[in-house]
Amino acid sequence: MKGHILLVEDDETFRSFLQTILEDDGHEVQTAEDGLKALSLLRRVDFDLVISDLRLPGKSGLELFRETREDPSPPQFIFLTAFGRVDEAVAVMKEGAVDFLTKPLGDPDTLLALVARTIEAQGRARDYLSLKESEAAGLPPEELIFAGQSIKKVQKLVHDVAITTANVLIYGESGTGKELVARTIHLLSPRSKAGFVPLNCAAVPEHLLESELFGHEKGAFTGAVQARQGKFELARGGTIFLDEIGEMPLALQAKLLRVLQERVFERVGGSQEIKADVRIIAATNRNLQEEVRARRFREDLFYRLNVFPLQLPPLRERIDALNLLADYFFNRFSRQIGKKLKGIQADALAAMKAHHWPGNIRELQNVMERAVILAQDFVRCGHLPDEIMCTSGPDSREMLKSAEREMIIKALNKHGGSRRLAAAELGVSRRTLQYKLKKFGLLDDKRKDAKLHS
């Protein structure tokens, strides 16, 4: 694994010697001859590792190290020191430096081995954080994210665009899983080893949104007691996800456009240009073309973002996936709460299939969490919110009947026609199942795949 290294050394000959060794080993190296220039580079560029002399003009290596500790993701440090100052290097290691080497350098391989170990350890740490982020987000498997026929085309498009560098704009109603699709694109992309950094533009007050995106310098505004990295810096090498992009103020849209065009930005209160090495995925539940016509969204920014649009269908158009999604949330919340429940009753599933789902998958998730909390053995109709039980209309009643009949047939097929086992899975008595079989005309059903027996 190769890294991006900042080499800080005031001795030009020794600096050139070390740079050659590191670059010959495949690393990308930038250099600085003093602490002030090094700090300027560290404010503009993200490095995996800093190799620095302890004694430097302008600002010492120790001061440089301590100032970078304020950053959310500070680089690792390896120090170079004269033999007589080893005690200083040991003291810095106690503050978090990786290691030190004495000058003159006896064996270049010692340096290369130490650099390799440090960068590999950082890579493992990033992988671990990425895994923990996925676990914390509760990411379901891809086949669940794209369950249902109406979203299969989107799944193919996701795989097509993931391997490219194109910006993506995801459209969909609230709760349709836009962030999950964005995370999937990131995980399938060459940037998957770096971070996925989400920001909901509607959830941050307008006067703080610029700082959230680009960071700020110490003293940039009241309350800015120290410098802070923004989302674009935190997403270095990875992906930034800008949810509800249609809520972004026009003035900030102009600054985002500059990032897309020039790939640089400045922190609030700063003047140093910082490289924006990120992929942008944006999402909205608005019609951005209408927002452009109404002059609430910049047309040039729209075309920059809308390189590869994806339209997510609402849950009401994915009812064929509801069984799978409901089972996933049922199992997930049962594990989290520590309940050993038997399943979801057929009439409860049928009622959910008849529901319109204005809140989409997020609403289903909330409904299932509530139901699992209330249930003692099976999730039943009584555990669902009142609005899901509104089946007074003829169309709703027919949908409910059709869904319930489908569930009964599925259970019977699964258990080879055994009414006893099917009734147990559906959470009803055998007598109730017998009544429903008669009601739905299944007692006379001659289908080969549903031979009914006791």
CATH code: domain of residue 265: 3.40.50.300
Residues 115 and 180 in one domain: no
Q: How many CB atoms lie within 10 A of CB 354?
A: 23
Q: Where is the domain boundary, 292, 313, 334?
A: 313
Q: Are 298 and 282 in contact (CB under 8 A)?
A: no
**CA-CA-CA-CA torsion sign (209, 280, 234, 180):** positive
Same domain, 299 and 243: yes
Q: Report the length, in residues, of the chain.
A: 454
| Lookup: tokens for 264 | 């640089």
Q: Do residue 384 and residue 431 come from a single domain? A: yes
Measured in whole angstroms, the distance separating CA 254 from the mean position of its chain's CA atoms is 25
Q: Which stretches within 338-441 are classed as H helix?
A: 346-354, 360-374, 394-414, 419-426, 430-439
- Structural domain contains residue 397: yes
Range of the domain at 21: 4-128
Distance, in Å, from the CA atom of 104 to the CA atom of 11, rounded to the nearest integer, reads: 12
Q: Cα(78)–Cα(7) distance, rounded to whole angstroms?
A: 10
Question: Is the overall model pTM greater than 0.75, yes or no?
Answer: no
The pLDDT score that the predictor gives to residue 219 is: 77
Closest Cα to residue 2, out of 31, 34, 26, 37?
Answer: 26
Do residues 169 and 300 share a domain?
A: yes
Number of domains in the chain: 3
Closest listed residue to residue 326, CA positions, set 318, 338, 317: 318
- The H-or-E segment that residue 378 falls in is strand 378-379
pLDDT at 61: 87
Q: Are 74 and 51 part of one and the same domain?
A: yes
Does the residue 133 lie in any domain?
A: no
Domain C-terminal end among 128, 151, 183: 128
**Whether residues 328 and 356 fall in one domain:** yes
On whether both 323 and 305 belong to a single domain, the answer is: no
pLDDT score for 453: 52
* Domain termination site, one of 80, 107, 128: 128
Closest CA to 75 of 60, 57, 61, 89: 61
Q: Identify which of 318, 255, 312, 250 has the alpha carbon closest to the alpha carbon of residue 284.
A: 312
Per residue of the chain (454 residues), what is the pLDDT tens digit?
678 899 999 999 999 999 999 999 889 899 999 989 998 888 878 788 999 998 888 888 888 888 887 665 678 899 888 766 677 777 777 777 888 888 888 788 888 988 988 887 766 555 544 444 554 445 678 888 999 999 999 999 999 999 998 999 999 999 999 999 999 999 889 998 888 999 999 998 888 899 999 988 887 787 777 778 889 988 889 999 999 999 999 999 999 999 999 999 888 888 888 888 899 999 999 999 999 999 999 999 999 999 999 999 999 999 999 999 999 999 989 998 998 898 998 888 889 998 889 999 999 999 999 999 999 999 998 899 988 864 544 455 566 677 778 888 888 888 888 888 888 777 677 887 888 888 888 875 444 344 455 4
308 shares its domain with 329: no
pLDDT at 223: 74
Give the Cα separation of 331 and 93 in Å (integer). Answer: 47
List, in sequence order, the alpha helices (H) in 273-359: 288-293, 299-305, 322-337, 346-354
Asked whether residue 453 is assigned to any structural domain, the reply reads: no
Do 18 and 122 belong to one domain? yes
Q: Is residue 337 part of a domain?
A: yes
Pair (170, 203) in one structural domain: yes
CA 298 – CA 254 distance, rounded (Å): 8
Q: Which of 121, 115, 73, 112 is nearest to 237 (CA)?
A: 73
Q: Find all residues with CB under 8 Å of 409, minimum gap 6, and list them.
A: 442, 450
- 92 part of a folded domain: yes
Tell whether 227 is covered by a domain.
yes
Please tell me what DSSP assigns to residue 313. P
Inside any domain, residue 368: yes
Within a domain: residue 446? no
Based on its alpha-carbon atoms, the radius of gyration of the chain, rounded to whole angstroms, reads 29
- Read off the CATH number of the domain in which 435 is found: 1.10.8.60
What per-residue confidence (pLDDT) applies to 304? 94
> Which CATH number characterizes residue 56's domain?
3.40.50.2300
Q: Are 228 and 74 in contact (CB under 8 A)?
A: no
Q: What is the pLDDT of residue 398?
A: 65
Residues 255 and 339 in one domain: no
Confidence at residue 71, expressed as pLDDT on a 0 to 100 scale? 66
Same domain, 173 and 261: yes
